[in-house]
A = this chain, B = another copy of it.
Amino acid sequence: MAVVREITFAEALNEALDYEMSKDPKVVVMGEDVGRYGGIFGVTKGLIEKYGEERVRDTPIAESGFIGTGVGAAASGLLRPVVELMFIDFLGVAYDQIYNQAAKMRYMFGGKAKIPIVIRTVSGAGASAAAQHSQSLHALFIHVPGLKVVYPSTPYDAKGLLISSIEDDDPVIFIEHKMLYGIKGPVPEEPYSIPLGEADVKKEGKDVTVVATALMVHRALEVANKLEEEGISVEVIDPRSLVPLDEETILNSIKKTGRLVVVDEAYPRCSFATDIAALAVNKAFDSLKAPVKLVTAPATPVPFSPALEKEWMPSTEKIEKTIRDVL
């Protein structure tokens, strides 16, 4: 493979948006400060200059209103909106439009509606943004049927998955971890798509399976590389899309290693972590050689102080200790 240039996660997303807007006039971008400001994390930079105010729309603070507007626009068949919810923490002021409207319309209408909307949003702790700007709430979108949920960990995946998401005819929640925007990685200049529902084995291994999401993929890899030196072989799987979920890749890995650790920066109960544990104990029970362990945040809000937030997040130390525990 030829050497590809490295760009940031945020730039990769911007390229995907730019490509889709250039290709399909039905694609519009809406949200708070997505216009000249370029989005508060810079993801929509330059779009308004290129595609104009009609297609790149700054909105008032009215998330239920403007996400609902996106849903209606998608249902009408006239547009394919990409709507930004500035922080995933704000889902509570627009949740009905997402899980009761966008997610259910097709089913309620007997398969007659298509709802091609992408809701881009930002999750994650690590920026001392405190209890209402640091959450990882993907479980709330996984739980309710009818939404596809994408949560990439690398610039490469981010671009390919965002392109697929915009081209998908179903509602997609596209989650971006705020601590990943600045990381760089190789990203081809030309457009490409990564199918939703395909996990990526970020590192092969044979002793233990680690399923991790977003920022936690990086922490898991850090630990895996360290343990490698000791001769412990860790397989790190990034599901990339949480709905649909690539059960097969995960189950095959567990069958190979017999051990499972899930690393998920989220509240522990009714979570993606419990989901994968349940999958394992149901469908790979005979292969399991040890308890399934989950490295999650505790069941508390996210504290503000860096001294506390660090403890709240799943750390490489905790990941390492947990992996050792199941060996």
Contact = CB atoms under 8 A, between A and B. Distances in A.
B91 A95 contact: yes
Interface in A259-302: 267, 269-275, 277-278, 280-283, 285-286, 288, 290-294, 298-301
Contacts of A273: 278
A269 B104 contact: no
Nearest to A130: B108
A139 interface: yes
Contacts of A18: none
Contacts of A64: 93
A251 to B, nearest CB: 12
A270 B278 CA distance: 9
Choose among A271, A280, A281, A292 the residue with the greatest number of B CB atoms under 10 Å from its CB: A281
Contact of A277 (B103, B107, B278): B278
Copies of this chain present in the complex amount to 2
B95 A89 contact: no
B269 A301 contact: no
Contacts of A91: 95
A139 to B, nearest CB: 4
Interface stretch (A7-15, A141-149, A158-166, A176-184): A141-149
Contacts of A143: 137, 139-140, 143, 267, 269-271
A192 interface: no
Interface string A123-155: 000000011100001011011111000000000
A117 to B, nearest CB: 16
Interface in A68-116: 89-93, 95-100, 103-104, 107-108
23 contacts: A89-B100, A90-B96, A91-B95, A93-B95, A95-B95, A100-B131, A104-B131, A104-B301, A137-B144, A139-B143, A143-B143, A143-B267, A143-B270, A269-B275, A270-B270, A274-B275, A277-B278, A277-B282, A278-B294, A281-B281, A282-B292, A282-B293, A282-B294
Interface of A: 64, 89-93, 95-100, 103-104, 107-108, 130-132, 137, 139-140, 142-146, 243, 267, 269-275, 277-278, 280-283, 285-286, 288, 290-294, 298-301, 303
